[in-house]
Structure 1
Amino acid sequence: MASSQALPPLPPPKWAVELNSPPPRPSASTSSIPDPPGFSRKTGGKSRAEKSTTTPTAAKPAETDTLKLKKAWEIALAPSKQIPMNAIMMYMSGNSLQIFSIMMVFMLFKGPIQGLINTNTVFAKFDSETLRGKLLGVKLVYVLMQFVLLALGVWKVNAMGLLPTTRSDWLAWESERQPLETVYFAFG
């Protein structure tokens, strides 16, 4: 019943044959679609093996320094992008002593203090002999932005009434200022 003859192997599917041998690319003269901007036929027509064997040209030190300085400025100005968000959050959290507003103020002080402590480590990867003078100005702007965030925190602590700003806060014999008028909310 069953024959002992071996059947010939099936030919591979059409898609596998096309995958291994892609159709020829149309030449530039026959193509009606123009090449996109920045496309080069010299680099675009190379095979993967040819692309991997060619080495890219080494970047010039001046170009590397320019890129490093640009990235350093991005890092230095990053705290300034936090100022409007933190100001709105401090305004919206209210001036009463609640756990939410206290935690917001704590986080507002924690970030800039850590930023000031880590200033040199943040910019250490950009440090080089040619950029040392320019990085001093970048670090100065970074420190200034951190101080602006700290000033925002001091404003919030003052608005909450936690800063000792009157003489009665410091001197035991001074009495607290008494208001001339008091306003009460009337139901009605």
Structure 2
Amino acid sequence: MHGHIFMLLKRYVQTQYDHSTWLKLMNNAGLEKLEFDHKTVYPDKHIYDLVGQAAEMTGLSAGELQEKFGEYLVPDLMFMYQKHIQPEWKTLDMIENTEMTMHKQVRSEHTENSPPVLKVQRLGENELVIDYVSSRRMSGLAVGIVRGLATYFDEADRIDVLPTTSEDGEQVSIHVRRR
């Protein structure tokens, strides 16, 4: 997983809790000597260890934590990829275009990175299905990002997000509908 995600996770923990919580989380995950940087790709095991420890510390499930973090990521992602975003896009348009814009960019610039594959099928003007495919099994993050996009585009009260398969699978179907 790209170091930038770890750096954002650190900031998330520090803003939602505090710096000592981050230090405790790193220590409990056995990563206390590691300092993440944005140019390095780290083993996926590190993110699993951190999320697992966070789940133990908070009493929330790993999926719930991934969703909360996904929502938190959206403003940073929108800033990072702003040159790929059309001004008229809203939530469903962003989802529909993520694979061929942002993910394509990540794969071309950082060949060692492997963002999930998003196979998006638009069912109509106000509805789509995302087939999330990733060996990381972190679809909770994708669900959180969808909810974060809805908030970002002021559509949170009109967007329904429903995973229609097990959220911890390698392939997860997520139904998104604008009311």
Normalised TM-score (structure 2) = 0.23
Q: Give the structure with the larger helix fraction.
A: 1
Q: Give the structure with the larger strand fraction.
A: 2
Query: For the pair shown, which has the larger CA radius of gyration, 1 or 2?
Result: 1
